Structure 1
Amino acid sequence: MSPPGLAILGSGIFAKEAHLPAIAALGSARVALKAIYSRSETGAAGLAADAQDTLKLDAQPDIYFDADPARNLDALLARPDILGVIVVLPITTQPAIVLKALAAGKHVLSEKPVAPDVPGGLALIQEYETVYKPKGLVWRVAENFEAEPGYQAAAQAIKDGKIGKVTFFNARVVNYIDKNSKWYNTPWRTVPDYQGGFLLDGGVHTIAALRILLPSPLQTLSGFASLAKDYLAPHDTINAAVQTSDGAHGLVELTWGAPTPSRAANAAGGLTVTGTKGWLAINQVQAGGGSVLRTTVYQLQTDADGKEVGETEEVIEKRVMGVEVEIGSFLDAVAGTDDGIGSPRGALSDVAFIEAALNSNGAPVDLLKLVGAQ
């Protein structure tokens, strides 16, 4: 049986540096990249050349672009040999393209965030669930932190009771972005037409990690947002206190506005989750020639009388491969096996956190109510 044919819609940095290597890792027996679409011929041709090299193809994938009616997006979506598309386009562009692809009968894996804001995300999800899901079409959101084996392993350690009942947690992400950053020098990021700037684009990753780690959903948030660097408008920093529905609470610090590289490098970032019988810490490190997520689990030890006698330490390391996992999960869902990774409603709750933190100004916000969960 031939592998399912996919197309990549978008030719930016992440399509080249993350999606192509992930498709290569999955292998030609698992998936066939048939086509590339970009608004410009130059962009599509560039990614097609990269794809031929990265995937070791005999020929480049076909290219599609807006200026040629015979090779535009409609022409690509009309191809019967393309089963699904991976959408890697600017945040505000994606929702309309998701619906266009679904309307053409294609399965869709769209990059996070699910939508620029909660109302738009709710409308998009409702249309999918009422019109396209009943037709058997699969739409998943590509949130690679959710798919990371490292976060999944840490979540399993918590489910297994290794740290007892979760009581509090902390997430800190400190980034230094200057005007020379490749991530900044993208037109749709330089002048963002969506809330939060990098906070929405990158902040949803951390919230997705918390979403799979914590035993119950984040529910109540009180936070503040600010702008430290004018060129990162509209906001670049969030500090929030948050409580889950079962009473655990934590602090979330997200910034792309560090004043110097040392503030980002030495800020002791990462995630910690503390429970009644121990705690764990998760950090991304370099090991074995690549990036790994390292979870260190500290467990309280007691003797037969219940007296505390120390603690043990367990280290769990998983290679960073979230994009590969999320694409594989999408292909499995298309084939009829759904592991739950990439749920649009899960991704919407990540957007809701950022939106609430941007607008809270200290007032409590019910996150579950914001997404219509209660």
Structure 2
Amino acid sequence: MTLNVAIVGTGIFATNQHLPTLQKSKYFTPYSCYNRTKSKAEAFASKDPSISKIYDSLEEVFEDPKVDLVDALLPVQLNVDAVKLAVKHKKNISLEKPIAANLDQAKEIVQISRAHPELTIAIAEHWCYFKSIAALKSAIDQIGNVYSFTYHSTGSFNFNNKYLATTWRQNPEHIGGFLSDGGVHQLALLTGVLGEIKTVSAHTRQVRKESGDVDILYSLAEMQSGVIGTFTYGSAFGNTSKSCYFQILGDNGSVFFDFSPGHNEKLTLKVGGKSADAESFVKETEIENEYRSTEREFEVLGESLTSGDRSKIIATPEVAFHHLAIIDASLKSSKAGGQVTPVERP
């Protein structure tokens, strides 16, 4: 038997990503849906005959005894309320990233999750499940002591972005607007490989009024491990190529991961240099069929819910809190002229 999913929030991402993923899943069946505008929920339900129920209120979603999982794609400032309803009605829930609109709300979700271990509260952050994370961790094991990194993701502004007209993008309630909406993806990859960030010194700017808030971030970070590096993010510029790479440097080599669009993602491992006579070699690896859709995160979630083993769920509230906390610290640092700012812990 598959698990019945109630889809809450039936907008662009629910239509283009979550619904196709659930339709293909061996673990889940789209069972019901809800939107504050009922006509939008009705239009969404018409896309799948298995969606047999449309609710009149958010509470009705959680009251339904046939619902096994609530897939919540809400404006993130509403995530806390959804989690409270999940606890009240003993429902497992998946929340869209970022975990919340601000750290106070994020901290509350973490506390609720810790207080109710019988429930699964997962964050839909599919970058946590990238194949490249395991590949990068395996590669850096071969370059000796790691000392620094450069994480870079920049590009031109996309005037055709389908989310530009949404209220949550034009008037964001989540801190940093575009930076927390998209930046947490990048931070899932960075911290998935190198661990948590301890402090940041950052500068932000707003290039485009359409972004609704600051949209570029340049920062220096110190990891909990002592590794130092730079994190640069923002696709708000004029005509330029999209450039995405992650370089990690050690005393016995380096790793360079190029994940710019337009070609296969490639990891280049260069080993050697710890001593004058150390063995040196270069190895290139392409990351094939990366998990860029939501399919892998729902596969892991389905496995976890059916087996009762949640150990494979990477995007926990604590992990997602850290991603948002890095953005929060960066914004505070920028307002203080680049002052070194600690990243809060839940």
Question: Shared fold by TM > 0.5?
Answer: yes
Change (3 A) 1:300 1:150: closer
Change (3 A) 1:108 1:78: same
Find the residue that maps to 2:231 and give its secondary structure: strand
Contact 1:177–1:184 (8 Å) recurs in 2: no
Q: Which residue of 2 aligns with 1:242?
A: 221
Find the residue that maps to 2:84 and give its secondary structure: helix
For residues 26-69 of structure 1, the C-alpha deviation after alignment (integer angstroms, 9 at most, x for no partner) is 23xx211111111112221222233x2xxxxxx2403435xxxx
Find the residue that maps to 2:46 and give its secondary structure: helix
Contact 2:143–2:272 (8 Å) recurs in 1: no
1:72 equivalent to 2:57? Answer yes
Structure 1 residues without counterparts, runs of 5 or longer:
53-58, 66-70
Q: CA deviation at 1:299?
A: 2.5
Find the residue that maps to 2:233 and give its secondary structure: strand
Contact 1:118–1:371 (8 Å) recurs in 2: no
Q: Which residue of 2 aligns with 1:140?
A: 122
Amino acid at match of 1:273: I
Contact 2:109–2:317 (8 Å) recurs in 1: no
Q: CA deviation at 1:309?
A: 6.1
Counterpart of 2:322 (choices 349, 355, 363) is 349
> What TM-score results when the alignment is normalised by the length of structure 2?
0.90
Counterpart of 1:151 (choices 133, 136, 140) is 133
- Runs (4+) off by over 4 Å: 284-287
Counterpart of 1:184 (choices 161, 164, 168) is 164
Counterpart of 2:212 (choices 214, 227, 233) is 233
Q: CA deviation at 1:118?
A: 1.4
1:252 equivalent to 2:228? Answer no
Distance 1:243 1:72 in 2: 45
Distance 1:154 1:19 in 2: 28
> What TM-score results when the alignment is normalised by the length of structure 1?
0.84
Change (3 A) 1:153 1:309: closer
Distance 1:188 1:311 in 2: 49
Change (3 A) 1:228 1:324: same
Contact 1:150–1:319 (8 Å) recurs in 2: no
Amino acid at match of 2:287: E
Amino acid at match of 2:308: G
For residues 116-139 of structure 1, the C-alpha deviation after alignment (integer angstroms, 9 at most, x for no partner) is 111221122112322x22xx1110
For residues 194-243 of structure 1, the C-alpha deviation after alignment (integer angstroms, 9 at most, x for no partner) is 321111111111111111111x4211110111111223232111110001
Q: CA deviation at 1:267?
A: 4.8
Q: CA deviation at 1:180?
A: 4.1
Distance 1:96 1:301 in 2: 53
Q: Which residue of 1 aligns with 2:345?
A: 371
Distance 2:143 2:39 in 1: 52
Distance 1:168 1:302 in 2: 16
Distance 1:184 1:253 in 2: 22
Q: CA deviation at 1:359?
A: 1.3
Contact 2:80–2:108 (8 Å) recurs in 1: no
Q: CA RMSD in A?
A: 2.2
Q: CA deviation at 1:154?
A: 2.3
Contact 1:297–1:314 (8 Å) recurs in 2: yes
Find the residue that maps to 1:319 and give its secondary structure: coil
Find the residue that maps to 1:168 and give its secondary structure: strand
Q: Which residue of 2 aligns with 1:312?
A: 282
Contact 1:150–1:295 (8 Å) recurs in 2: no
1:118 equivalent to 2:103? Answer yes
Alignment of 1:1-374 (within 5 A): 2-27=1-26, 30-50=27-47, 52=48, 59-65=49-55, 71-130=56-115, 132-133=116-117, 136-158=118-140, 161-214=141-194, 216-258=195-237, 260=238, 262-263=239-240, 266-276=241-251, 277-285=253-261, 294-301=265-272, 307-308=277-278, 310-322=280-292, 323-334=294-305, 335-338=307-310, 339-361=312-334, 362-367=338-343, 370-372=344-346
Q: CA deviation at 1:12?
A: 1.4
Change (3 A) 1:320 1:286: farther
Find the residue that maps to 2:179 and give its secondary structure: helix
Distance 2:268 2:159 in 1: 38
Q: CA deviation at 1:188?
A: 1.6
Distance 1:164 1:14 in 2: 42
Amino acid at match of 2:254: G
Distance 1:336 1:60 in 2: 25
Distance 1:179 1:297 in 2: 33
Contact 1:149–1:320 (8 Å) recurs in 2: yes
Distance 2:271 2:242 in 1: 27
Distance 1:121 1:337 in 2: 24
Aligned residue-pair number: 339
Identical pairs, percent: 22
Q: CA deviation at 1:81?
A: 1.8
Contact 1:199–1:256 (8 Å) recurs in 2: no
